[in-house]
Structure 1
């Protein structure tokens, strides 16, 4: 490891340590997601401002950020309670998301046909990548805020969670299926077949795990729970690595593989005691949110092209346009997940919560740059717009949701102490 890489890594880790301190101080006045603070600190230490951190493509830090975003989607898959979402919530969330996709891609295609986004691909490919970012939902960012406001079990909360689960991984699937031939290696038809085959393999594995882990594995897991062996955590690392490797080999995005790995781990622990399940999840969460995931968000700040964004008037005007699209093309149609008879306040609140974006927007910006769909300043505008939604949308949305049901947020519990019917809820913090 060369000196520059070591300095960059230490400075980035220092930023991840500073972020929760700032969060604690600021939370007395305003609720700012930790991930947003990490990205702002990344901009501060990156080439755009202080120049203390420099990320080399393909280097150690670049690989750590890949592991970070994989960990983010792995934990999302592990904690998604599909049992509670099955039926109308998931069905309406999927239908409304497809409507969002049509609106977002259509609007962006019209815009990309008259505006040069600086890419080397067609206007349609540009529209698909930006549209995919628009129709994402940062459920990991808004979940703890909803939990603090006791909105998890309300109509608004359940609708947002259902829409958020779809908005977490569906954009990646859609982009892979629609523009599967961007690299020139595979056609959209081949990409579709590979995704179906991957889903079939995961379905078979879930069927094999319908009874959870074999007794001997559960026994070893219990015996090493507080020992140096840590079999349960090592097994999770193996599963996520193997499934991501399988996904990449089949031409499926690694993040879809990570989400699927989380679902498999959830099935593996089906027969594990609730107490041990909670311990295992908290350990995995500590590894992810304690090191890898924060590095991903700091990396997003370090590589944020602030100078290019400011120097490009066209890219700069696209930032507010992206924010408006997030609300109109993702949030408003996403509120259809609410049951009939919902009030205007509830629908507006859900629109704002569902329209919040962050991690997937960062990923889409990176993938779009690799595919030549747009230039760096426009990717920066997308990420900047996502930060605005993460800062503004949840705060206003939860205020409206509280008012709609006459709730006093001062009496709310925290994400760490919230409990549902199945026991403690280990809420995500991004």
Structure 2
């Protein structure tokens, strides 16, 4: 099939997926991304063979992943993700990294263990946030803690990828990361500077015109941070996450009255176009044949799924803030153990480097896909009637 035909098929799936999610959601609240991925697998080379990868589609998919990470970075509320909660989040992730690397090397050897161990520490914040938002729980105390844990679980593996998976010496990688940190700090200082009234006026006046100044500015900030990370030889996801945080500072500081509307437009561009392409292409490129043809790969899938809980979930449970109830701590464990986007990125690097076998990557990605399907559903069930009803009340409490 041609690239244009594949794009039409992908966008058809993007339209069909929310209809299926809405229809089945009356009985079982299945996350939207599951339909996108499963339908992608269905039309991919290993099942119907209707769609395949290509340069244009891969570029759009990479932009979709960048937009997903960007939106995750934008959601970080700095006034809530700080203090004791942030310290606990960082501590939980560092424990996950140590345990993940140790288990990965013990089970698969030193070279493979670094890739697998890093993947086990990730949290799919960009995937979990829409679930919490749709459940009305994003602004609650639980949602804020999950945001902190998820932010570190998203940002930490990206840093680890730059240090451990780049192929450079740790010293050189550290220098490059420091350079990017200085660049980001400069961008943050610029973002926090007071803006003259004309800036917010231009945003407001072009918000509903063809000018769309704010949207274009956001896209420029994303492109600049992606370009900066690429120029330094770092993973572009690092730039995407930083761009999201910087964009929030710019909009909240310069045009708080328009920030919500601007975000809605960016989300429409992301979740309406680019992000679905990433998830559908993830399904299309998923090596189902490698997973099903070898007994070892199929056996590895539940093992990796359990390791997501042990490596990522248990440290989160142990270091969760004490004011959370027991079932909320268990739900937090499940949400934090949900992984996918960074697992796809890390396994792709591992296969390209010739370190991971395709069946091992398929088992790891397959486990991440199951985690997206199972863990948020279990987490929502644990939260039960607290979702929505108490979420608004808790969100209004003072930190």
Residue 75 in structure 1 maps to residue 61 in structure 2: no
Residue 218 in structure 1 maps to residue 200 in structure 2: yes
Residue 129 in structure 1 maps to residue 115 in structure 2: yes
> Which residue number in structure 2 is paired with residue 425 of structure 1?
none
Q: 1:246 aligns with which of 228, 233, 237?
A: 228
> Which residue number in structure 1 is paired with residue 16 of structure 2?
18
Superposed, 1:23-422 pairs within 5 Å as: 23-56=21-54, 59-112=55-108, 123-149=109-135, 151-152=137-138, 156-181=142-167, 186-340=168-322, 344-402=326-384, 407=385, 412=389
In the TM superposition, what is the alpha-carbon distance from 1:357 to its structure 2 partner?
Answer: 1.1
- 356-365 vs 323-332, which deviates more? 356-365
In the TM superposition, what is the alpha-carbon distance from 1:264 to its structure 2 partner?
Answer: 1.4
- Alpha-carbon separation, structure 1, partners of 2:191 and 2:324: 39
- Alpha-carbon separation, structure 1, partners of 2:238 and 2:377: 29
Could you say what the CA RMSD is over the residues aligned between the two structures, in angstroms? 2.3
Change (3 A) 1:248 1:302: same
In the TM superposition, what is the alpha-carbon distance from 1:156 to its structure 2 partner?
Answer: 4.2
In the TM superposition, what is the alpha-carbon distance from 1:351 to its structure 2 partner?
Answer: 1.5
- TM-score of the aligned structures, taking structure 1 as reference length: 0.87
- Alpha-carbon separation, structure 1, partners of 2:324 and 2:210: 52
**Contact conserved, 2:71 with 2:126, CA < 8 A, in 1?**
no
Change (3 A) 1:171 1:301: same
**Contact conserved, 1:73 with 1:255, CA < 8 A, in 2?**
yes
- Alpha-carbon separation, structure 2, partners of 1:341 and 1:274: 31
- Alpha-carbon separation, structure 2, partners of 1:212 and 1:366: 42
Provide structure 1 residue ranges, at least 5 long, that are not aligned to the other structure.
Answer: 113-122, 423-430
- Alpha-carbon separation, structure 2, partners of 1:153 and 1:234: 28
- 386-395 vs 211-220, which deviates more? 211-220
State the SS of the aligned residue for 1:83.
coil
- Alpha-carbon separation, structure 1, partners of 2:131 and 2:207: 31
- Alpha-carbon separation, structure 2, partners of 1:324 and 1:125: 21
Provide structure 2 residue ranges, at least 5 long, that are not aligned to the other structure.
Answer: none
**Contact conserved, 2:71 with 2:267, CA < 8 A, in 1?**
yes
- Alpha-carbon separation, structure 2, partners of 1:418 and 1:275: 23
State the SS of the aligned residue for 2:253.
coil
**Contact conserved, 1:128 with 1:175, CA < 8 A, in 2?**
no
Change (3 A) 1:412 1:47: farther
In the TM superposition, what is the alpha-carbon distance from 1:236 to its structure 2 partner?
Answer: 1.0
**Contact conserved, 1:65 with 1:299, CA < 8 A, in 2?**
yes
In the TM superposition, what is the alpha-carbon distance from 1:55 to its structure 2 partner?
Answer: 0.7
**1:348-388 deviations in Å (ceiling 9; x for gaps):** 22221211112222222222222222112211111111121
Change (3 A) 1:109 1:385: same
State the SS of the aligned residue for 1:269.
helix
**Contact conserved, 2:163 with 2:173, CA < 8 A, in 1?**
yes
**Contact conserved, 1:212 with 1:270, CA < 8 A, in 2?**
no
**Contact conserved, 1:97 with 1:135, CA < 8 A, in 2?**
yes
Change (3 A) 1:253 1:214: farther
**Contact conserved, 1:43 with 1:49, CA < 8 A, in 2?**
yes
In the TM superposition, what is the alpha-carbon distance from 1:142 to its structure 2 partner?
Answer: 2.5
**1:303-339 deviations in Å (ceiling 9; x for gaps):** 0110111011111111001100001111011123322
Q: Which has the higher helix share?
A: 2
In the TM superposition, what is the alpha-carbon distance from 1:102 to its structure 2 partner?
Answer: 0.7
- Alpha-carbon separation, structure 2, partners of 1:188 and 1:318: 30
**1:217-247 deviations in Å (ceiling 9; x for gaps):** 3222222111111111111111111111111
- Alpha-carbon separation, structure 2, partners of 1:377 and 1:336: 33
